[in-house]
Copies of this chain bind each other. A is one copy, B any other.
């Protein structure tokens, strides 16, 4: 995308496989795009949970084989995280693991709770002490105070108190539980490998470890896996399913199957629909790599205008945790992308990306393409204008920073200096995506429509509440 939005997390779990920690590592490797700031794995050998967590990429945090020797056992859960503001330190790494009266439990969470702060205040006044600033810890404390006996009942008792988006994987010494919130905002898939059950935020994690994809865990469903096998529960009141359309637009990997469809195909279809809605005479279709590629191929196929991979990406950008900011800051997007001048010079170019957030990156890229000699630049965006913040697990800028929330399309076109600008319509998007599987309902598109399926306690105008 032209600017960066961040999905907060990816989760993984496996129960009943002798290489549980190692497979979790691979699963997180495949989910790395969902969170790059920290990661962790908790494994159980049947009597004890052990954790390894750290700041940085999966391949860094788990670079020594010795780590795996310290994670014995046949079940494990893992987590990759993009940290929200203020939370980028070690103690906020997940999975969170605690000892409490009933033993040990660990949890990995993808999503955001909208009533976390209220619950936290209440719990602290009852004497609970929090170790992290993560929403997730609220769930743990509710669990520690739950009155029921059986684990699924106690998890249900705790989750009945929380509102918002959560795809969760719990691990105790002897059991794994996976839950998806009643709206099913965030994805969660179920698979099988050599008889062991596997769960993951995206199916690309199954592909890597060669697990079979069985089905998605349904909105509101709880899965309990233990030595007796797998049980499914639907412990919550029925709710309207509202999976996040942005997973299809940007977050998920194109090779994942999500809400019933493979992402690559959905994105191509967005591009085809975009070509229908915003045709233009041009010489070539140029994607912003890599996010714009499938839509650009769709646009090119539908319009008949040739596709070219004319912006070359430097694959070494972002490979280190700390960039020498001072040294390269003013080089901005050039450090990442460079145009192929011979392709572009004198040509009318259609530039495709999935979204525009702040508009500043788009402006720089268009300037760069113009400097490479483009005669005309027509920007086409494979989603509607992003005008509203997300409260369900995507780290969007506040409304003030979202250029679409305060500018018309024509104003944005002028700001980013393109010759024309077209967004996919909300109807076109819905048509291209189809209905999400298993719900018979529709996607959450609050970031485009402002219609929020789950209400939140108090709304500060123009800012996100309690999420940061």
A207 touches B334 (CB 8 A): yes
Interface string of A82-99 (1 = CB under 8 A from B): 000000000000000011
Asked if A6 CB lies within 8 Å of chain B CBs, one says no
Any chain B CB within 8 A of the CB of A272?
A: no
- What is the bound-complex CA distance between A20 and B351, given in angstroms? 35
Contacts of A200 in B (CB 8 A): none
Could you tell me if B309 and A204 are in contact, using CB atoms closer than 8 angstroms?
no
Residues of B within 8 A of A306 (CB): 301
Determine whether the beta carbon of B144 is less than 8 Å from that of A264: no
Interface string of A373-387 (1 = CB under 8 A from B): 000000000000000
Complex contact A312–B204 (CB within 8 A): yes
Whether A334 contacts B208 by the Cβ 8 Å rule is yes
Contact partners of A328 in chain B: CB under 8 A: 25-26, 29
What CA separation (Å) do A59 and B323 show in the bound complex? Answer: 7
Contact indicator per residue, chain A 299-310, by CB within 8 Å of chain B (1) or not (0) = 001000011111
How many A residues touch the partner, as a band?
35 or more
A294 to B323, CA, bound (A): 30
- A289's nearest neighbour on chain B, judged by CB, is B290
| A27 CB to nearest chain B CB (Å) | 11
Would you call A327 and B207 a contact (CB within 8 A)?
no
Tell me if A370 is interfacial: C-beta within 8 Å of chain B. Answer: no
Find chain B residues with CB under 8 A from A310 CB: 264
Are the C-beta atoms of B144 and A128 separated by less than 8 Å?
yes
Contact with B along A310-335 (1 / 0, CB 8 A): 10111111011011111110010011
B297 touches A335 (CB 8 A): no
How far is the CB of A30 from the nearest CB of chain B, in Å? 7
Q: Could you tell me the distance between the alpha carbons of A325 and B68 in the complex, rounded to whole angstroms?
A: 12
List B contacts of A335 (CB < 8 A). Answer: 26, 29, 208
CA distance A343 to B268 in the complex (A): 11
Expressed in whole angstroms, the minimum distance between the Cβ of A65 and any Cβ of chain B is 5
Pick the contact of A100 from B124, B293, B315 — CB < 8 Å? B124
Q: Is the CB of B129 within 8 A of A340?
A: no
Chain A 6-42, CB-CB to B under 8 Å as 1, else 0, gives: 0000000000000000100110011011001000000
Interface residues of A in 331-357 (CB under 8 A from B): 331, 334-335, 338-343
Q: Which residue of B lies closest to A320 (CB)?
A: B59
Q: Which residues of B contact A128 (CB under 8 A)?
A: 100, 127-129, 144
Task: For A125, list chain B residues within 8 Å (CB).
Answer: 101
- How far apart are A259's CB and chain B's nearest CB, in angstroms? 14
Beyond known contacts A63-B324, A315-B315: 13 more, CB 8 A cutoff:
A22-B327, A57-B320, A60-B320, A65-B326, A99-B129, A100-B130, A127-B128, A127-B144, A128-B129, A204-B338, A264-B340, A297-B307, A307-B307
A residues at B contact (CB < 8 Å): 22, 25-26, 29-30, 32-33, 36, 57-60, 62-65, 67-68, 98-101, 121, 124-131, 140-141, 144-145, 204, 207-210, 253-255, 257, 262, 264-265, 290, 293-294, 297, 301, 306-310, 312-317, 319-320, 322-328, 331, 334-335, 338-343
Q: List 12 A-B contacts (CB under 8 A).
A: A25-B328, A65-B327, A98-B130, A99-B124, A208-B334, A254-B340, A255-B339, A264-B310, A264-B342, A290-B315, A294-B309, A307-B307
Task: For the complex of A and B, list the 6 residue pairs with the smallest distance between their C-beta atoms, beginning with the closest.
Answer: A127-B145, A101-B124, A262-B342, A255-B312, A32-B316, A264-B340
